[in-house]
Amino acid sequence: MKRKVLLDKALWSGLAVALAGGGVAAQAYEQGDFIVRAGAVMVDPDADSEDINLPGVPTLNVDVDDDTQLSLIGAYMVTDQVAVELLAATPFEHDVVAAGAGVDLDAGTVKHLPPTLSVQWYPRGGASGWQPYIGLGVNYTFIFDEDVDRELAGALGAILGATRADLDLDDSFGLTAQAGVDIPLGGNWALNAGVWYMDIDTTATIKTDVGNVKFDVDIDPWVYNVGIAYRF
């Protein structure tokens, strides 16, 4: 009886180890796999702009604050080590500030969607365990719902006599670079962390009934994502 109990324990222990090993092995990424990642993604602009010159106002430059939204990222393994990935997210909204010597104006808000297509390399593709990756790609940033803040509109009215002010930013197309990792949780699940650097350049135009002001803005954000991943 004692020997049977010991054999049963050994059997269940061996089965548990086998299942655990199988769960880890299931994390090996292979050709034909689909990987879906979801989580929170933050766009943190490293903004710089041309000088904005308005009569009677010190030279101004534009800054853009960060925003965090929900992410949905899909990747398809073309080979064991090469994948194609599409980054999508809910729309981002950023406050825009115009600042200079002794001047700090809330200029407005903008919304954008930055779908990004990347080709990725997985050095450990085909092997179990952690799955680090790097990638290069292209980004198209669709900018919409640009609004001028009352503070800027009031300043333009007081200085230039403008009774109307609108803000317009061109869409952007640029290159991206990324790095990330999937950390196995068991089965087909993993934790995901990723970072992108995006080249986002746009031309901004402040339109008023007394004239327009146009200037280039380099947004060039770092983008950070943390979430979960599931392999199909």
Q: Distance between CA 3 and CA 100 in Å, rounded?
A: 83
Domain count, the chain: 1
For residue 30, pLDDT over 60 is answered with yes
CATH for 182: 2.40.160.20
3-state secondary structure the chain: CHHHHHHHHHHHHHHHHHHHHHHHHCCCCCCCCEEEEEEEEEEECCCEECCECCCCCCCEEEEECCEEEEEEEEEEECCCCEEEEEEEECCEEEEEEEEECCEEEEEEEEEEECCEEEEEECCCCCCCCCEEEEEEEEEEEEEEEEEECHHHHHHHHHHHCCCCEEEEECCEEEEEEEEEEEEEEECCEEEEEEEEEECCEEEEEEEECCEEEEEEEECCCEEEEEEEEEEC
pLDDT of 191-223, one tens digit each? 999 999 999 999 998 888 887 888 899 999 999
More confident residue, 120 or 12: 120
Range of lowest pLDDT (31-35, 85-89, 125-129, 160-164): 160-164
Question: What average pLDDT is seen over the chain?
Answer: 85
Range of the domain at 154: 2-231
pLDDT of 59-112, one tens digit each? 788 889 999 999 999 999 999 999 999 999 999 999 998 887 777 788 889 999
pLDDT of 139-181, one tens digit each? 999 999 999 888 888 888 887 788 888 889 999 999 999 999 9
pLDDT at 226: 98
- Residue pointed to by tokens 């080979």: 79
pLDDT tier for residue 22 given thresholds of 50, 70 and 90:
very low
Q: Distance between CA 203 and CA 115 in Å, rounded?
A: 19
pLDDT tier for residue 57 given thresholds of 50, 70 and 90:
low
Q: Which residue from 36, 38, 27, 40 is spatially nearest to 74, judged by alpha carbons?
A: 36
